[in-house]
Amino acid sequence: MKRGDGVRHRARGWGGVPLSFNLGASFTWWFGMGVRLHILGSFRKRLSSCDTQACGRIWIGIVFMGAGQDRSVDVAVVGCGAAALAAFHAAVEIAERTILIKSSPSDLNRTLAGKWLIAAAAAAHDARGARAFGVRTTVTVDGQGVMNGVREELDRLADSAPFGAGTIASHQQIEGPVRFIAPGVLDVAGTLVRARAVVVAKGAEPVIPPGLDCVRERIVVHDDVLAWTDLPDSVVIFGAGVVGLEFGQALSRLGVRVRIFGRGGGLGPLTDPRVREVAALALGTEVPIELDARVRSVRLAGQRVLVESEDPDGHARVETFDYALVAVGRRPNLSDLDLNRGGAPVEEGGRVVADPMTMRVGSSNVFLAGGVRPEGSVFHEEADEGIIAGTNAARYPDVRPGPRRSRLQIVFTDPQIAVAGESYEDLIDHDARVVTSEVRFDEQGRSRIIRKNRGIARMYADEHSGRLLGAEIAGPRAENLGHLLAWAHQQSLTMDQMLEMPFFHPSFEEGIATALLTSRAANRSTTFVRHSPA
C-alpha cells in the first residue's frame, strides 16, 4: 500500500467523482499486472454553533497500466500545431518548467501537402492553355501519379521537425488524452499535471452537418482527400469556403467532375459584393458553383451519393457522385477538455471566448490560441496567438496585451483571393467613412500579356487621412498583392505614401498604382462604404 497527498497520486478510472477539496489522502493497492485500486479521499471540518462536523468525499477507480510520474510545472501547453509550438517556445524562454501535452496529431504537414495537389492541377491547366501562345501540348492526368506525389510530399514533411518541434526534449513533452479535473490540474492519460497556467491550442475539426449523416460512409474531409491513392470520377462539395474552393477547382482541373454547393451567398473570405461577384464568375467558368444552393435531399444510391437540388431557374436536378467532400467549417477541439472544471467560463453551446490581445479566457489561468478560438485563424495568426498566449501564461498573473499583425487571408484558387487589413464587412460594421479605389485586371497590362486577366482589387482608405484601411482582391498573384497591402496597412501608410513607392512597368503591382491614381484624380470623393454601389 502506498500513501500520499490528495493530488499527487490521483489516477483515472470509472465511476470516480472529482474531489472538491485540496487537503486529503490517497491510498493505492497494487494487484500486479499493472492494475491498481485507487482510493482518494478528502476531509474538512465545518464549525457550527453546537458541534464540529467532519465531512468529505471519496473517489474510487480502477486503473489499468499504472499512470506515469505525476508532474508539477509552470506552464502546460495542450496541442502540437503551429499555435501550440509557438506557445511552448515563447513560454519556455521565461518559465523553464514548461511542458507540451500532445493530445492530437498536427495538421501542419497536411496543409502544405494540400498545396501540392493545387500545384499539380495548375500545371495541368497551364499546359492545356499553352496553345494560346502557339505551343501545342497533349495533357494526360495520371490520378495515381498525382496522389503518389501528394503522399511523397507528406512523407518528406513527416521526416522533418516542423517549427521547432525537433528542439523539444523528451522530458518537456507528454502524449495522451487530456482533460481538466480542476483549475490548473490536468489528467493526461492517468498522469496528473499541475500547472500555474495552461495554454490550450488543440486546433479544430471539420463539422459534419446532421443532414449528411445518411451518407457518412461516402463523406470525405480535407485530410481524407490527401489519403486517396487515385482520383475519383466525381465529387460533390458542400461549402464554398477556402477548402471547398481550392480543392474544387484543383480536382476539376485534374479531370474530376465537381459541383460546389454553398450557402448564404458566401465565397471564401470575401465580403465586398463586387469582388465576390467577379470571383464567382471567374471560378464558375471552370467549376459549377452555387453560392446559395437549394438542395432538396442527399442520400446513398448504392456506393454513390445522390443529390437532389434545384438549378438557378428552379428546375429539379438529380446527380450522383463518388464522394461528398464536406467543407462547411471547423469546430474548436474543446468538447473533451472539461474546460469548466479548469475554471474557464464556458458559454451556452460550449463556446469559449478569449481576449484577442492577451488570449486569456475571462479571469482564469487558461489561455487559448489558434483554431480553438471561435473566430478561427490562419497559420501566421495562430503563431502570433501562440506567442502571446505562451508569454502571458509564463508571466501569469502578470498578463499583458501582445502585438498583433495586420489581417492577411489568401485562397490559392485561380484567380487567387486575398483580404488584407479590414474587410468590407468590417468597415460597414464600424460605420467607416472611406474612399474606395478599384482596379480591374481585364485590361491590366501584365495580366493580359500572360492571359491571367480575370479579377478585381478594391482598396479602402480613410476619408480624412487617406490611410489604407483594408483591401479585398480576386485576381492574379493576389498572394503577392495581398502581402504588399497588408504591410502597407500595418505601417499605417496613406494612399499618397503608397504612390511614392516604386512600381515597375509592366507588373501586377502596377495595378495598385492605377487604382490609387484614379482615386486621387477623383479628388478623393467621399463614399460611405455601406452606400457604395456594389
Per-residue pLDDT at 109: 62
Angle, helices 478-490/510-521, rounded to nearest 10 degrees: 60
Q: Say if residue 433 is in the same domain as residue 317.
A: no
pLDDT digits (tens, 9 = 90+) for 266-290: 999 999 999 999 999 999 999 999 9
Per-residue pLDDT at 381: 87
Alpha-carbon distance of 431 to 466, in angstroms, equals: 16
Q: Say if residue 337 is in the same domain as residue 198.
A: yes
Residue 124: inside a domain: no
325-331-332-336 Cα dihedral, nearest 10 degrees = -100
pLDDT score of 477 more than 90: yes
Exposed/middle/buried for residue 164 (C-beta within 10 Å: 0-12, 13-18, 19+): exposed
Q: Say if residue 256 is in the same domain as residue 323.
A: yes
Per-residue pLDDT at 166: 64
Residue 165: inside a domain: no
C-alpha distances (whole Å) from 9 to each of 69, 192, 223, 321, 449 are: 9, 8, 39, 54, 71
Higher pLDDT, 4 or 299: 299
Q: What is the mean pLDDT of the chain?
A: 83
443 pLDDT band, cuts 50/70/90, is confident
Q: Say if residue 98 is in the same domain as residue 189.
A: yes
Which candidate, 152, 114, 4, 7, places its Cα nearest to that of 71?
7
What's the domain count of the chain?
Answer: 4
Cis peptide before 506 (omega within 30 of 0): yes
Residue 154: inside a domain: no
Q: Say if residue 431 is in the same domain as residue 526.
A: yes
| Domain assignment of residue 272, given as a range | 210-327
Lowest mean pLDDT among 85-94, 248-257, 415-424, 512-521: 512-521
Per-residue pLDDT at 104: 65
Residue 169: inside a domain: no
DSSP labels for 184-253?
A: TEEEETTEEEEEEEEEE---EEE---GGGGGGGGGEE-HHHHHT-SS--SEEEEE--SHHHHHHHHHHHH
Written as nine digits, the cell of 475 is: 485576381
Among residues 340, 374, 395, the one where a domain terminates is 395
Q: Say if residue 218 is in the same domain as residue 191.
A: no
Check: CB of residue 235 under 8 Å from CB of residue 321.
Answer: yes
Lowest mean pLDDT among 63-72, 145-154, 456-465: 63-72
Per-residue pLDDT at 446: 87
338 pLDDT band, cuts 50/70/90, is very high
Which candidate, 199, 112, 115, places its Cα nearest to that of 162?
112
C-alpha distances (whole Å) from 341 to each of 316, 358, 380, 396, 499 are: 51, 21, 31, 19, 55
Per-residue pLDDT at 72: 96
376 pLDDT band, cuts 50/70/90, is low
Other Cβ atoms closer than 10 A to 77: 35
pLDDT digits (tens, 9 = 90+) for 141-197: 999 999 999 999 888 876 665 555 667 888 999 999 999 999 999 999 999 999 999
Arithmetic mean of pLDDT, 425-452: 89
- Hey, which of 81-90, 232-241, 372-381 has the most confident mean pLDDT? 232-241
| 3 state SS of 75 | strand
Per-residue pLDDT at 335: 84
The angle at the Cα of 84, spanning 83 to 90, to the nearest 5 degrees, equals 90
Written as nine digits, the cell of 525 is: 470623393
450-451-454-455 Cα dihedral, nearest 10 degrees = 0
pLDDT digits (tens, 9 = 90+) for 302-314: 999 999 999 988 8
Indicate the length of the chain as a whole number.
534
Lowest mean pLDDT among 60-64, 412-416, 470-474, 495-499: 60-64
Per-residue pLDDT at 270: 97
Q: Say if residue 200 is in the same domain as residue 345.
A: yes
Residue 247: inside a domain: yes
Counting residues of the chain whose pLDDT is more than 90, the rounded percentage is 63
Which candidate, 194, 200, 218, 197, places its Cα nearest to that of 208?
218
350 pLDDT band, cuts 50/70/90, is confident
Alpha-carbon distance of 123 to 136, in angstroms, equals: 15
Alpha-carbon distance of 450 to 34, in angstroms, equals: 68
Written as nine digits, the cell of 528 is: 460611405
Counting residues of the chain whose pLDDT is more than 70, the rounded percentage is 81
pTM of the model as a whole: 0.82
Q: Are β-strands 71-78 and 191-200 bridged in parallel, bridged antiparallel, or unpaired? A: parallel
370 pLDDT band, cuts 50/70/90, is confident
Among residues 278, 300, 327, the one where a domain terminates is 327
- Which CATH number does the domain housing residue 431 bear? 3.30.390.30
Q: Say if residue 294 is in the same domain as residue 379.
A: no
C-alpha distances (whole Å) from 280 to each of 152, 268, 286, 452 are: 33, 10, 10, 16
What stretches of 48-97 adopt beta strand conformation (E)?
Answer: 52-64, 71-78
Q: Which amino acid is at 368?
A: L
Q: Are β-strands 204-206 and 330-332 bridged in parallel, bridged antiparallel, or unpaired? A: antiparallel
Residue 150: inside a domain: no
- Which CATH number does the domain housing residue 88 bear? 3.50.50.60
Q: Say if residue 51 is in the same domain as residue 188.
A: no
Per-residue pLDDT at 81: 86
Considering only the C-alpha atoms of the chain, give the largest distance between any 2 of them, rounded to a whole number of Å: 102
* Residue keyed to cell 496597412: 489
pLDDT digits (tens, 9 = 90+) for 386-398: 999 999 999 999 9
Per-residue pLDDT at 395: 97
Among residues 342, 373, 395, the one where a domain terminates is 395
DSSP labels for 360-409?
A: B-TTSSEEE-GGGSTT---HHHHHHHHHHHHHHHHHTTS------PPPEE
Alpha-carbon distance of 287 to 257, in angstroms, equals: 9
pLDDT score of 34 more than 80: no
Alpha-carbon distance of 243 to 330, in angstroms, equals: 11
C-alpha distances (whole Å) from 142 to each of 124, 139, 146, 147 are: 11, 10, 6, 9
Residue 131: inside a domain: no
* Three-state secondary structure readout of 480-502: HHHHHHHHHHHCCCEHHHHHCCC
Check: CB of residue 146 under 8 Å from CB of residue 140.
Answer: no
Per-residue pLDDT at 447: 87
Q: Say if residue 274 is in the same domain as residue 314.
A: yes
Written as nine digits, the cell of 519 is: 482615386
